[in-house]
Amino acid sequence: MLPHRETNLVAECWLDEAAESSDMARWILHVDMDAFYASVEQRDHPEYRGKPLIVGGVGRRGVVATASYEARKFGVHSAMPMETARRKCQQGIFIAGDHDKYAVVSAQIMAILADYSPLVEPLSLDEAFLDLSGMELIFASPLDIAREIKRRVREELQLTISAGLAPNKFLAKMASDLQKPDGLVVVECGQEQEFLAGLPIEKLWGVGEVTAKSLRAKGFTKISQLALLAEADLKPFFGQSAAAVYNLVRGIDDRPVVPGRESKSIGAEETFPIDLTDIDEMRTILTVMANRVGARLRQENFAAWTITLKLRYGNFQTLTRQRKLTRPTQADETIYRTALDLLMQHATLRNGVRLLGITVSHFESAERMEASLFDDREEKGRQISTVMDRLREKFGSAALLPGRMAEKPLSVTKRERKDK
C-alpha cells in the first residue's frame, strides 16, 4: 500500500492562478483509484505492503488485471500475460484476487462521490466522472471538493485516489493520469491548449500502438501538432473518428456526465490452462458462465435481445458469433442453449479451445416490458433462474454447480465484464 500523504503534499499541477468563476462555470472531476485491486489487497494484507503484488489469472495462461506500483517498477502492467510478468518480476507475489470484495469497496467509493454531486457517472469499479458545476453554491470550491474526496477515501477506506479537475470530461480524464499515484491535477478554463501542448500523441483518446506508429512516421509526436491539422488531414489516421479527434486536440468536449449510466453489455469469459477439446467440459463451463451472466441481468433488472459467443483457439485465432433472439431473455437456460448452439454450429473443436466467453447485449428494462414479450417457456426459465439466484446467495455459488464442475474444478482465469 502507498504511504499516507497529507492533502498539502498531494501532487498538484496548476496551469494558471485560479480565476474567479461564475456560477455557470463548468467543472468536471475524474477520479481514478490507484492500482485498485492491488491496493485493496495490500490494505487488507499487511504482508503484501511494500512488495510487488500482481493480481490476475494465476494460471499459466492468466493475464495481469492490476499490478502494484512496486511491481510496475519491474515493467509489469495490466493485460500483460502472467508468464511474462513472472519472468520480469520473479520476486513478485501473484494472487487471483477477489472480485466480490472489490465490488463492495467500489460501492463504498461511489457512495462518497454521491455526497458531492447528483451527477456521478461510474466508468468501472475504480473510476468515475462527477459534474461539480455549481456545487460551490452548496459546498466549497470544486478544488476543495476534490481535496475532500481524496481525504475521505484515504481516511475512511485507507486507499489513495488520483483526480483530474477540468472544464470537460476529456481533459479531466487526461489530467487524472498525469500525477499518479495520489495526484490532483487542475486544468483551468482557458488553459486547455497549454495543457495539451506538451503531451505525447499516445495520451490522446483513440491513439493505440498502430495509430501512434503511423502518426510518428509522419513526424507527429505531440498533441499540439495534431491541433494544427484540418479535419480532413486527420481522417487517414482516425477514419470516422476524425471529427471527434479534431475537437479533442483543441480541448473541446461537450459530452455530459450521465449518472447511473446503463451497461451496454454484460459478459464473462474464461481462459484455460490447457486447450480444451472435450465438448462435455465446454458445456459445463458454458453453464456456469450463463448462470453468472444471467444473475447479473436479473440484478440489474435487464433482459437481453442479443447473445454473443466468443471463442479463441490455441493458435490465438478468435471467433465471435452472435444471435438476435425473438424475445429478450433473463433466463440462464436460454443464454446457455443459445451459446451452446453457436458453439456447435461454428466452432472447430479439434483445434483446441483456449478461451470461451458469453456476452449479452441490447437490453430492455424488465420493468418496462410487457408480459407478452416473455412467452410461457421463457417466463418459467426466468422464474427458475430467480429461485437459483436465491439458493446460490444462501448456500454459495459452488453448491449449485454441475456435478463434474463441483468435483473437479477447472483452474481458469475468470474475467467478468460490465462494458460501458
12 classed as catalytic: no
In what helix (H) or strand (E) does residue 397 lie, and over which residues does it extend? none
- Phi and psi at 380, nearest 5°, equal -65, -45
Cβ atoms of 332 and 291 closer than 8 Å? yes
Question: Order of strands across the sheet with 413-419?
Answer: 318-329, 302-313, 353-365, 265-276, 413-419
Q: Write down the catalytic residue from 41, 70, 121, 127.
A: 127
For cell 480524464, the residue is 173
- With a CB cutoff of 8 Å and minimum separation 6, the contacts of 97 are 37, 41, 55, 56, 65, 66
What span, in angstroms and rounded, lies between the C-alpha atoms of 388 and 382?
A: 10
HEC states along 358-379? EEEEEEEECCCCCHHHCCHHHH
Q: Residue 40: what are its φ and ψ, rounded to 5°?
A: -65, -45
How far apart, in whole angstroms, are the C-alpha atoms of residue 1 and residue 113? 22
Among candidates 243, 216, 127, 140, which has minimal Cα distance to 175?
127
CA–CA distance, 45 with 34 (Å, rounded to integer): 17
Q: For 78, phi and psi rounded to 5 degrees?
A: -65, 150
DSSP label at residue 200 = B
The residues pairing with 11 across neighbouring beta strands, listed in sequence order, are 183
Q: Residue 90 carries which side chain, given as an amino acid letter?
A: Q
What torsion do the CA atoms of 255, 212, 316, 339 make, to the nearest 10 degrees?
10
Cite the active site residues. Answer: 127
